[in-house]
Chains A and B, each alone.
Chain A
Amino acid sequence: MARDAPGGDSCEELDQTKYDADENVKIICLGDSAVGKSKLMERFLLDGFRPQQLSTFALTLYKYTTNVDGKNILVDFWDTAGQERFQSMHASYYHKAHACIMVFDVQRKVTYKNLNNWYKELREFRPEIPCIVVANKIDADMKVTQKSFNFARKFNLPFYFVSAADGTNVVKLFSDAIKLAVAYKQNSGDFMDEVMRELENFELQKKGEDSDKEENYPEEKPPST
């Protein structure tokens, strides 16, 4: 499970409260070493490629601004910088993520097999966020695109064949991931998110006033019954 509680002291420098703002989304990349996660990011961002290395967290952040349905959206892509070699990511990596891009290398079976572990860990922390499964390096052997990969179908996840080298479906992958992240955020059905939000509200109110606690207690259900 978690190696540390979300938002624990060890991540003080990493301010993740901004991800609560409507226009900010966080998208995480998962997958084994050398499946091409960073290469995909670089291909998508091209000139706008300016990663922020946070070596203490074995983490690379890529910032990206875009427009979804007429709204400006600031995207933070989280990419690992070797942390995946622990076969597990720090809890703060998953914290407040709105979508996940999960990558394997079509040339290496072990990276496909390990999707199972990555997916399990993802769901421990983020049970509901959209997750896209990505088969990278199809340029190495186009024949693989004629084959079926059941992992995505089994969990009912979107599945893309891509190549960071020749660019096939890279832009589509990232723009779809952003749309999914924004949509998720707008109708966040994530139970944990709601629980967290309620807890935060509850704390604030306790600090504020103690008197009409009953009436102010945040309710999820509509008031009329």
Chain B
Amino acid sequence: MTYVAKKCGIRFQPPSVILIYEDENKDRARQRIMPIRNFSKFSDCSRAAEQLKNNPRHKAYLQGVSLRQLQKLYSLLRGHLQGKSLAQSLEQIQQEETTDPEEDLNKLDDKELAKRKSIMDELFEKNRKKKDDPDFTYNVEVEFPQNEQLESCGWDAESDNEF
């Protein structure tokens, strides 16, 4: 039995995660409502997301839904419980999801660094060529000639005395 997740969202009242999926054997979309219990404005969203994803009853259906997306949905719910508007919660999530390229990651503690890494990992996974992909090549060589005519990266200029 394989379920193909199509859409996943959250309902605030009564709080539940709702999944639209297709059952591979029957060729039609179905909806699954997974009620959220014991979740308050103080709850930990990543923990709640993990619990739901590993819940024996829902596991099979949620395979195609990333932990990250579930986390996001829980954050929306938490924002709602804290009295925030949907726009406010979305903006906060957006902020948490992007990394500041100017930030010196050497200065972060383990937890914060792991957070930044997982955000960056998303792009990595998106662009990743896995060795099982049909078009995978082990050795990919591309020449990018560096010469004087190229436009500067802009990171050398202000520091001519340094570099």
Residue ranges of A at the interface with B (Cβ–Cβ < 8 Å) = 32-34, 36, 39, 46-47, 82, 84-85, 87, 107-110, 112-114, 116, 137, 139-140, 144-154, 159, 161, 163-172
Contacts and interface: CB of A to CB of B under 8 A. Distances in A.
Contact of B101 (A47, A108, A150, A152): A108
Given A154-B163, A170-B140, A147 B152 contact: yes
Nearest to A143: B151
A150 B152 contact: yes
Given A109-B101, A148-B150, A149-B156, A169 B124 contact: no
B101 A147 contact: no
Interface string B112-148: 0100110010011101110100001111111010111
B106 interface: yes
Given A149-B156, A165-B128, A171-B139, A34 B120 contact: yes
A46 B138 contact: yes
Nearest to B131: A46
B128 A148 contact: no
B13 interface: no
A149 B155 contact: yes
A146 B150 contact: yes
Contacts of B103: 110
B47 to A, nearest CB: 24
B129 A165 contact: yes
Contacts of A32: 104-106
Contact of A171 (B104, B106, B131, B138): B138
Interface in B91-111: 101-108, 110
Contacts of A112: 153, 155
A224 B5 CA distance: 81
Contacts of B153: 112, 144, 147-149
B117 A109 contact: no
B113 A165 contact: no
| Chain B contact residues, majority secondary structure | loop
B27 interface: no
A6 B159 CA distance: 33
B140 A167 contact: yes
14 contacts: A34-B113, A34-B120, A36-B124, A46-B138, A107-B101, A108-B105, A113-B155, A139-B127, A140-B123, A147-B154, A148-B153, A165-B128, A167-B140, A168-B141
Those 8 A-B pairs whose CB atoms lie nearest each other, nearest first: A148-B150, A171-B139, A165-B127, A139-B127, A147-B153, A145-B144, A150-B156, A33-B105
A87 B106 contact: yes
A139 B140 CA distance: 13
B147 A85 contact: no
A34 B148 CA distance: 30
A154 B144 CA distance: 18
B159 A167 contact: no
Contacts of B140: 166-171
A75 to B, nearest CB: 17
Contacts of B141: 168-169, 171-172
A65 B163 CA distance: 36
B107 to A, nearest CB: 8
A170 B106 CA distance: 24
Nearest to A152: B146
A115 B150 CA distance: 21
Nearest to B142: A168
Contacts of B131: 46-47
B113 A33 contact: yes
B144 A161 contact: yes
